[in-house]
């Protein structure tokens, strides 16, 4: 999708998932943006469109990407977290209901912050 999925893209994917029973996977970078902006928006929708998210989110979306534990287990190449990454992760942990309810994603963001790195998909 090339970044945060648009409403049109999410609606199309939702229809494919619902009507054609196609599996949906989010393949994103191992960084706060990939987790909190791309994956989360596809799976549960956006805060700005909460009143219409039921049409645009794809709850059956499965995560397919690099986790902080993968970085450690497979000694993956990384880049340092940028200030914007740190801000995004801290904001998600503090303010985002998705991350507040999903302990594994809290752990992933905290682990990235502790490690101070991110991994990109190529």
Q: What is the mean pLDDT of residues 70-92?
A: 97
Q: Please provide the average confidence, as pLDDT, over all residues in the chain.
A: 91
Q: What is the mean pLDDT of residues 49-72?
A: 86
Record the tokens describing residue 10, joined without a space. Answer: 């999410």
CA distance 86 to 31: 10
Q: Is the pLDDT of residue 3 over 80?
A: no
Q: Is the pLDDT of residue 119 over 80?
A: yes
Q: What is the mean pLDDT of residues 75-102?
A: 96
Record the tokens describing residue 75, joined without a space. Answer: 């000694």
Who's near 45: CB < 8 A, 6+ residues apart?
A: 10, 53, 54, 56, 57
Residue 99's pLDDT band, with cuts at 50, 70 and 90, is: very high
Q: Give the pLDDT confidence score for residue 55 in this predicted structure.
A: 75
Angle, in degrees to the nearest 10, between helices 103-115 and 83-95 = 150
Distances (CA, A) of 23 to 16, 54, 61, 74, 119: 9, 18, 7, 27, 25
């Amino acid at each position: 999708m090339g970044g945060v999925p648009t409403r049109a893209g999410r609606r199309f994917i939702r229809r494919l998932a619902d009507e054609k029973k196609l599996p949906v996977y989010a393949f994103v970078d191992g960084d706060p943006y990939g987790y909190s902006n791309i994956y989360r928006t596809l799976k549960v929708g956006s805060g700005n469109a909460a009143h219409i998210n039921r049409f645009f989110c794809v709850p059956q979306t499965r995560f397919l990407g690099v986790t902080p534990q993968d970085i450690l287990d497979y000694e993956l190449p990384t880049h340092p977290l940028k200030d914007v990454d740190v801000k995004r992760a801290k904001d998600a942990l503090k303010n985002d209901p998705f991350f507040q309810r999903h302990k594994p994603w809290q752990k992933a963001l905290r682990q990235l912050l502790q490690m101070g790195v991110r991994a990109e998909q190529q």
